[in-house]
Amino acid sequence: MALFENVIQRAAEKLYEDERLRSNLTDSEAKVVLDWATGWINERVSAARDEASAKQIAQGELGRVRQTVSAMNALAAKPGTLRLADAIATLDAALSAKQAYTREEVFALITALTSAAWKLRAGR
């Protein structure tokens, strides 16, 4: 049983109940996106010190995740094959920090993305 499971469950329910977040996604796409979103919230909330801070973290992360999932849903409305560059551009606002990334952070991100892409394709 996960720590603060009730807080995590309520946040997940809010995501799954909001049809606007997945209206353009296929069922398999929605599963990938919502599984990621709930996993992210679970990871963040599980690190809380107490239930009050767990609720606060869940609320903040839920807003952040909603913005990102909404952008992904908008991307899914585009017909045909999706280009990675278009996906990254669509998610730019959600990915952008309040301050610019350092050069090292940019290289850390693009190398992690490259590794993830290669692993994904190797699994096919």
Give residue limits of the domains in the chain. 5-122
Task: Indicate the pLDDT class of residue 96, thresholds 50, 70 and 90.
Answer: confident
Please tell me the pTM assigned to this model: 0.86
**pLDDT for residue 97:** 65
Of residues 12, 9, 16, 13, the one with CA closest to residue 30: 16
Q: Which residue has the tokens 């409305």?
A: 77
**C-beta atoms surrounding 67 within 10 Å:** 13
Q: Tell me 48's DSSP state.
A: -
> H-helix or E-strand containing 58?
helix 51-76
- Condensed to tens digits (0 to 9), the pLDDT of residues 36-95 reads 999 999 999 999 999 999 999 999 999 999 999 999 999 999 999 999 999 989 888 888
Exposure letters 85-95 (e unless 16+ CB within 10 A, then b): eeeeebbeeee
